[in-house]
Amino acid sequence: MVASGDKIAVAISGGKDSLSLLKLLIDRQKFVPIKYELLAVHVDMGYPCHHPKILAEYFKRIGVEYHIEKIDILKGKSRKDISCFWCSWNRRKALFEVTKRFRCTKLALGHHKDDIIETILLNMFFNGEISGMNPKQVLFKGAITIIRPLAYVDEDLIVKMAKELEFPHHKCSCPNSITSKRTKITEIIKELKKDCPDIKTNIFRSIKRIRSEYLL
């Protein structure tokens, strides 16, 4: 995923996943036989939240180059009127623009194994398609390459790492977090896991084990 000479924009939401990814990429610079640069990027969505300030202080403390991109996600609307799709689309657009502006070769996202599993079910249930998220994905005819270094890492391990390293934490709650489709999928998987402990691994592996002879 990472090549010598890369300048990687690391998307930092401020949660455990993105901060763990940043930590791993920084530590990896010390011993791998290749050279690459990092740019921590946080998108300030315009909510009344202290997270951008907390992250800026953290980036300075660990000595990583960073940029905070401010956008107005509300655009005259109230927080309750903002959907998950609207928020995600605008954040992703801002990340692409920053990646191109700072001449980064890759954009690193903190999606882990559990995220991919949930996405597979989300796309099946709500979009009527079988798809997930690629660990490495080339976009815009090669202009930007998305990488997901944590794609094969279980969320449980990331939770343990975040606790041990005591990452800065400031929860800026989303009004849709409790009722979102992803939250519903998470609860479904938790319930199914009671009867099938391997449910997450099975879903994750299924995307590679397509039995074409049994498809329509």
Confidence of residue 50 (pLDDT cuts 50, 70, 90): low
Task: For tokens 């939401």, name the residue.
Answer: 13
Confidence of residue 52 (pLDDT cuts 50, 70, 90): confident
Average pLDDT over residues 147-163: 96
SS (H, E, C) 185-214: HHHHHHHHHCCCCCHHHHHHHHCCCCCHHH
Residue bearing the bigger pLDDT, 169 or 125: 125
pLDDT attached to residue 134:
94
pLDDT at residue 173 in the model:
56
Say what percent of the chain tops pLDDT 90.
Answer: 72
Give the CA dihedral 21, 26, 29, 31, nearest 10 degrees: -90
Tens of pLDDT along 53-104?
899 999 999 999 999 999 887 776 666 667 777 788 889 999 999 999 999 9
Q: Is 3's pLDDT higher than 80? A: yes
Which helix (H) or strand (E) segment holds residue 18: the answer is: helix 16-28
Q: How far apart are CA 14 and CA 12, in angstroms?
A: 5
Domain ranges of the chain: 7-210
CA atoms of 160 and 21, how far apart (whole Å): 13
The H or E element containing residue 9 is: strand 7-11
Question: Is the pTM value of this prediction over 0.95?
Answer: no
Sign of CA dihedral 195, 200, 205, 207: positive
| C-beta separation of 112 from 12 below 8 A | no
pLDDT of amino acid 111: 97
Superfamily of domain 7-210, CATH level 4: HUPs (3.40.50.620)
3-state helix, strand, coil in the chain (%, to 5): 45, 15, 40
Decide which of 177 and 45 is more confident. Answer: 45
Structure tokens at 29: 């610079």
Whether the pLDDT of residue 105 is over 70: the answer is yes
pLDDT computed for residue 33 by the predictor: 95
Whether the pLDDT of residue 154 is over 70: the answer is yes
